Amino acid sequence: MKRSLHNNIKTIYLIGFFQSFMVVIPVFVPLLQGHGLSMSQVLQTQALFALTIALCEVPSGYIADMWGRRNAILVGSALNALGFFSLLWADSFVDFLLYELILGIGFSLISGADLALLYDTELYLADNGVPGGAGAGKSLSRLISIEAAASGIGGIVASVLLFWSLELVVAVQAFTGFLPALLGLTLLEVPRAKGQGHAAEGNHSDNAKRIADVLLFGKPVVLWTAFAIAVFGLLAIYVFWIYQKYWELQGVPLNWFGFIWAAFALTVSVSARYSDALEKRLGTRGLLVLIATLPLLGLLGMAFGAGWLGVMFGFAIQFSRGVSMSLFYEALNSRVPGEFRATINSLVNLGIRAIFIVSGPVLGVALDSMGMSNTLIALAMVFTPLMGLVLVPLVGRIRREATQESTATATA
């Protein structure tokens, strides 16, 4: 059983790889524009995706905690496969809305469940003396790194496929979209560790109160880490959908989109992989300052830069993205109880998507009316105080927690 559980780690890595190996994403904006959609409509499709996740995120995370993370991953992967398959006949605004609706449900089921299953697998193996695991924290960093690398490889493949046609990109995406569902069949649910109950053991009201206690009244670092994930995650979604339009305006040929996407994804992958080493060198405070400064530098550099110089500034945002994801998600998951880990991860993701529901279409209108440079400057002006508002209290809570732990150790 323990040896089989060890295979969970590699399987989740593979699922994460193929979920992020989306060859259609690096050219998704040109694809939709080719079907007659404006940037406002493109962002409206993403707002629907965010709305679907907002409605399903927490219930799906709770379902994963009650009925098993494996089951949630299986159903979510199957829905994603159906969504990607629907791209083969998608041609109108409504068709792409349907596509985003299906994917929203699918990704919401997987979101949080994969992290929770990976984390719980590592903890269970460590508690039972099974060698070979990387450790819970390192596994999360590796998963983020693998997903980013897969996105990069998908970008390279997309650029190669574009030498033939954009339709071939869609066809390959429809095929590879089924692989996570097949891999999910080999996963095993992790037995609950000693002292950990199952979310379904209490009634739903009691469980909700316990989850609220963890987030709001538990360790203060948990709440402020959740805020930080929401702020940095929201910025990441904004630039995710700005990049392709930005490259187009800078005169970058479409065939280069995938290669740039691959380089950006590789930057996220490498920075996530070595985030631990950076934290040891710079300290937590220094690392937080770095990941707050780089995105602002990237936004302003893109706004005032021209051509390839502006494109290069995007690397600063991607580097920050990799480090911040690894740092914040490890900090969150290491401080929450295992029985509600998927639910809490889903709640955090919900915060990001809920804001994007309203702001996503506004961003699209801003791009169509204000222009790219003014929109990037506006984002920098909005996120500068937001990052300060979440990171300054977070640093204070981390210091206080470290002091309390040192005092407890000294008196033990």
- Please give the full DSSP string across 67-124, using - where no structure is assigned: H-HHHHHHHHHHHHHHHHHHTTT--SHHHHHHHHHHHHHHHHHHTTHHHHHHHHHHHH
Q: Report if pTM > 0.85.
A: no
Dihedrals phi, psi of 157, to nearest 5 degrees = -60, -40
**What pLDDT shows up at residue 195?**
45
Q: For 292-326, how does the pLDDT look when each residue is reduced to its tens digit (9 = 90+)?
A: 999 999 999 999 988 899 999 999 999 998 888 88
**What pLDDT shows up at residue 197?**
46
Amino acid letter, residue 340: F
Quick one: residue 119, left, alpha or beta (phi over 0 = left, psi -120 to 50 = alpha)? alpha
Tokens 């409504």 correspond to 94
**What pLDDT shows up at residue 243?**
92
**What pLDDT shows up at residue 239?**
92
Q: For 243-289, how does the pLDDT look when each residue is reduced to its tens digit (9 = 90+)?
A: 989 999 999 988 898 889 889 888 888 888 788 888 888 887 888 88
Q: Domains in the chain, ordered, with CATH?
A: 2-189+205-404 (1.20.1250.20)
> Which parts of the chain sit beneath pLDDT 70?
1-3, 57-62, 129-137, 192-221, 333-346, 397-412
**What pLDDT shows up at residue 198?**
47
Q: How high is the mean pLDDT of the chain?
A: 81
Among candidate residues 234, 168, 173, 237, the one with its CA nearest the CA of residue 25: 173
Q: Is 1 helix (H, G, I), strand (E, B) or coil?
A: coil
Distance (Å, rounded) from C-alpha 103 to C-alpha 77? 9
**What pLDDT shows up at residue 399?**
66
